Amino acid sequence: MGQRTPLYDLHLALGAKMVDFGGWDMPLHYGSQVEEHHQVRRDCGVFDVSHMTVIDVTGLQAREWLQHLLANDVDRLHGCGRALYSAMLNEQGGVVDDMIVYRTQAGYRLVFNAATRDQDLAWMRAQLGDYQVQLHERAELAMLAIQGPHARQRIAELVTQSRSTLIHQLKPFEGQADGDWFIARTGYTGEDGLEIVLPAEQAPGFFNDLVGAGISPIGLGARDTLRLEAGMNLYGQDIHQDVSPLAANMAWSIAWEPAERDFIGRAALEAELAAGVQFKLVGLVLEERGVLRAHQVVRIANVGEGEITSGSFSPTLSKSIALARVPTATADRAEVEIRGKWYPVRVVKPTFVRHGKTLI
């Protein structure tokens, strides 16, 4: 038996198929995974993401420590409430994890993956050294993600006036506290929406309010196809400790300035750039019937080979799509080996759908 979120019994009552995910018992789907996917693209749905790890970073040197720890620069967070996406790298430039960092009144809030909790906390503690920094894991909190084009409007109608006002005021990549709730305009689906961190004991009641108002619960299956369509990396598949952000479509999240900021992994990334980055992350589209899956071989004529990191049928596009790491010289055509046969695929930018719009 895995760990359970505060909503476990509600998932069972709603008929969820439960699966193990990073040591947690989580809902894969409540019925049709494809319909759940469409529900988020067309309207909105609610995800239980209480398995995610929330760490509050405080102390006199919290800023300086995070500037050393992360590839992105928390000095870009101009004022309380702003958020950014960053990788946390090892000395070799590999991705220890990726996360969202929020600037808060007390310091910073980090939200990162569930399956990597132990390795992340061990790594972070190992980097503390003499920094005057405190790490406070917020295991007493739950987290719900309400995602979709109508998510903010639907939620604003169900919460207090002050929270409704905050929801309407939040810009993308902002998060603010209202009482014991933390409400952020962030997500992992490629749609607008909210991620709400709240006391665990309040989560079942709020989740029931959402479902009672007609907001569909969405499982991890649709969460995966939504993030794949949006071109968002999944840790352990598209990124891991042996992959550089330069080979994972994450170069935009590296803050090179100021030049004197010596973040962990910087020297390795600079050496990789100087030598020439060998691989890149691209999108693949299979025009024929079939399904693209992780670890299938990608062959590029006169260039070399790569590998699919994530692949699935895309409900929005009605085609099979994938993210793949391929040689940097790869152009717009390749082949993928499926069950011993080679199929032609189109090579595209690794973002297929954003805000309901097809980008390929």
Distance in angstroms (rounded) separating the CA atoms of residues 159 and 52 = 23
Per residue in 170-206, pLDDT (tens digit) is 999 999 999 999 999 999 999 999 999 999 999 999 9
Per residue in 273-299, pLDDT (tens digit) is 999 999 999 999 999 999 999 999 999
CATH T-level fold of 54-137: Alpha-Beta Plaits (3.30.70)
Q: Which pLDDT score is estimated for 1?
A: 81
What architecture does CATH give domain 245-358?
Beta Barrel (2.40)
- Write the DSSP string, 120-185: HHHHHHHT-TT---EEEE-TTEEEEEEESTTHHHHHHTTS-HHHHHHHHHPPTTBEEEETTEEEES
CATH, range 8-49+139-229: 3.30.1360.120
Binding site residue list for substrate: 195
- Please report, for the chain, the start and end positions of each structural domain, with discontinuous segments joined by +: 8-49+139-229, 54-137, 245-358
The b-or-e profile of 328-347 (16+ CB within 10 A means b, else e) is: eebeeebbbebeeeebebeb
| Tokens describing residue 60 | 């006199």
Distance in angstroms (rounded) separating the CA atoms of residues 65 and 83 = 17
Phi, psi of 232 (to 5 degrees): -100, 130
Q: Which pLDDT score is estimated for 233?
A: 99
Q: Which pLDDT score is estimated for 329?
A: 98
Report, as ranges of residue numbers, the positions in the chain whose pLDDT lies below 70: none
Compute the Cα dihedral for 335, 337, 340, 343 and give only its sign.
negative
Binding site residue list: 195
Q: Is the pTM of this model over 0.85?
A: yes
Distance in angstroms (rounded) separating the CA atoms of residues 233 and 249 = 9
| Tokens describing residue 274 | 């100087």
Contact 84, 252 (CB under 8 A): no
CB-based contacts of 220, cutoff 8 Å, min separation 6: 19, 21, 26, 27, 28, 29
Contact 199, 141 (CB under 8 A): yes
Name all contacts of 355-359 with Cβ < 8 Å and 24+ positions apart. 355/149, 355/190, 355/191, 355/192, 356/41, 356/42, 356/149, 356/191, 358/316, 358/317
